[in-house]
Amino acid sequence: MKICIIGSGYVGLVSGACFADVGHNVICVDNNAKKVEQLVQGKVPIYEPGLEELIHRNVAAHRLHFTTSTEEGVDKSDVVFIAVPTPPQPDGSVDLSYIEKVAREISVVLKPGQYRVIVDKSTVPVKTGEKVADTIRRYNKTGADFDVVSNPEFLREGCAVADLMKPDRIVIGSNSERAIALMQKIYEPFMSPVLVTDINSAELIKHAANSFLALKISYINAVARICEASGADVEKVADGIGSDRRIGRNFLNAGIGYGGSCFPKDIAAFIAISEDLGVPFTLLKEVEKINRTQRERFIAKIRESLWVLKDKKIAVWGLTFKPDTDDVRSSVAIDVVRDLLAEGAQVSVYDPKGMEKAVEFKLVDGARLAKSPLDAAEGAEALIVATEWKEFTTVDLSDLMKVMHTPLIFDGRNIMDPNTVRAAGFKYTSIGRS
């Protein structure tokens, strides 16, 4: 199949590389000429395990191309995916201006006699597909033949390639048999379950899925508070409830809250969408509140132990919103660093992949940038674990004890075993475990 993907961000780039790898001919379009130039030269702008190799292999096989021209992409393809950002607005609702702009750009390059399927892969509010179709119809003066499909993406950062290659399900939302048949052909090589729905249901599935996962995290974080108050262990409680197959153990890891470029934005969007439709989803407001206060409670615990945070030397391990990514957008770890800096603490930070982007976006100005976990902990009066990188679990505890000034650990991701750490002489505080 000949495929065009408009928007070479996370979703667009990974989708393009995976579609090419299963044998399709893919053109990725991006309006950022510098990014396109870099991609042509084989430089990949994001860190994602396996992605660089995939891109190199498929560029070399002439199945993956990059351009700044929407016209070229649409002209040479049967199916055109839209994968541009849908950022939040200050009130939580979704800014759809990039989608609208792309719809107009596509409309003016569609030619008579050329059938095209326009697929929305970006996360969008329900009913956006209808608006995309209206917009294309309004701006296209040639009566072009096209259908609009919703095909939400469920990949996770850090394992995006694996998620895309072997998805739990592929959702195809459309009312057109012809469009559905083409979409099924694209996804045939992935050999995964396909769910065909109407376009509105497909759009809703994405927001409902992310909100449910966020709800699961906030649920276990609320349970963690009860564990702390009662002397129970949240890990054991999560194992106990998670082994019921109806509940499942995934996404029941208590911590300092969820972050990233998806959950905070999508939950706020779903709240705004529900209010817009006159059916306010108030449960999600509580999910947001638990998430926000989870970090505040964590900082309060540190303050309580150290008494005064001003001028205290504090090491923070982790800046990314989760491990195996360099993404620091809406990261709770960054918020923790900023909270400590705001209280006058002397913070040193270390992250295996996130340092560069944190510095580039000026997110940790005022903090010392360390070269390793032990370097960060040098002279520290407390150590905070803010992201669950595997590297942090391999640090030798006796080495850590030697470099720290006072041996206090606040583990915001429960990556250490309380008995082991305490036996090594540390005062250890984690989430939902006494």
List b or e across 107-126, with b for residues whose CB sees 16 or more CB atoms inside 10 angstroms. Answer: bebbeeeeebbbbbbbbbbb
Stretch that binds ligand UGA, among 132-140, 253-261, 272-280, 399-407 (CB under 6 A): 253-261
Q: Give the range of 73-81, 90-98, 258-266, 301-309 binding ligand UGA by CB under 6 A.
A: 258-266
Answer for which of 39, 144, 262, 272 binds ligand UGA (CB under 6 A) is 262
Return the number of the residue (225 or 368) whose C-beta is nearest ligand UGA. Answer: 225
| Count of residues interacting with ligand UGA (CB under 6 A) | 21
Residue 15 or 346 with smaller CB distance to ligand UGA: 15
Of 11-40, which residues contact ligand UGA (CB under 6 A)? Answer: none
73 near ligand UGA (CB under 6 A): no
- Residue 262 annotated in active site: yes
Residues between 103 and 162 with contacts to ligand UGA, criterion CB under 6 A: 123, 153-157
- Which helix (H) or strand (E) covers residue 150, if one does? strand 146-150
Nearest 10 degrees: Cα torsion 160, 165, 171, 177: 140
- From candidates 255, 354, 407, 432, binder to ligand UGA by CB under 6 A: 255
Q: DSSP letters of 48-65?
A: -TTHHHHHHHHHHTT-EE
Task: Kindly tell me which of 209 and 403 has the beta carbon lying closer to ligand UGA.
Answer: 209
d(CA 114, CA 121): 22
Residue 90 makes CB contacts below 8 A (sequence gap 6+) with none
Whichever of 70 and 218 has its CB closer to ligand UGA, that residue is 218
Residue closer to ligand UGA, measured from CB, 194 or 374 = 194
Measured CA to CA, the distance from residue 181 to residue 177 in angstroms comes to 6
Of 260, 400, 408, the residue nearest 345 (C-alpha): 408
Q: Does 213 bind ligand UGA (CB under 6 A)?
A: yes
Q: How far is the CB of 398 from ligand UGA (least distance, A)?
A: 29
> Which residues face 64 on adjacent strands?
26
Q: Does residue 210 belong to the site contacting ligand UGA (CB under 6 A)?
A: yes
* Residue (123 or 346) nearer to ligand UGA, CB: 123
Minimum distance between the CB of residue 79 and ligand UGA, rounded to whole angstroms?
Answer: 20
> Which residue in 80, 141, 83, 77 sits closest to 107, CA to CA?
141
> Would you say 92 or 137 has its CB closer to ligand UGA?
92
Residue 368 phi/psi, 5-degree rounding, is -85, 135
Q: What distance in Å separates the CA atoms of residue 293 and residue 335, rounded to the nearest whole number?
A: 12
Q: How far is CA 95 from CA 89, 126, 171, 203, 284, in A?
A: 6, 13, 23, 16, 20
CB of 253 to ligand UGA, least distance (A): 3
Position among 98, 139, 190, 251 found at the interface with ligand UGA (CB under 6 A): 251
Distances, alpha carbon 407 to alpha carbons 132, 313, 373, in Å:
57, 12, 15
Least CB distance to ligand UGA at residue 200 (A)? 18
Quote the tokens at residue 406.
């006072």
In the complex, the smallest distance separating the C-beta of residue 208 from ligand UGA, rounded to whole angstroms, is: 12
Residue 47 interacts with ligand UGA (CB under 6 A): yes or no? no
Cα angle vertex 409, ends 403, 415, to 5°? 110
* Angstrom distance (rounded) from CA 248 to CA 213: 11
Strands (E), 151-266: 170-173, 194-197
Please choose, from the candidates 36, 116, 96, the residue with its C-alpha nearest in 3D space to the C-alpha of residue 69. 36
- Nearer to ligand UGA (CB atom), residue 99 or residue 262: 262
Q: CB of 108: closest distance to ligand UGA in angstroms?
A: 29
318 contributes a contact to ligand UGA by CB under 6 A: no
Report the residue from 12, 125, 167, 259 that binds ligand UGA according to the rule CB under 6 A: 259
Which residues contact ligand UGA (rule: CB under 6 A)? 123, 153-157, 210, 213, 217, 251-253, 255, 258-260, 262-263, 266, 321-322
Known catalytic residues are 262
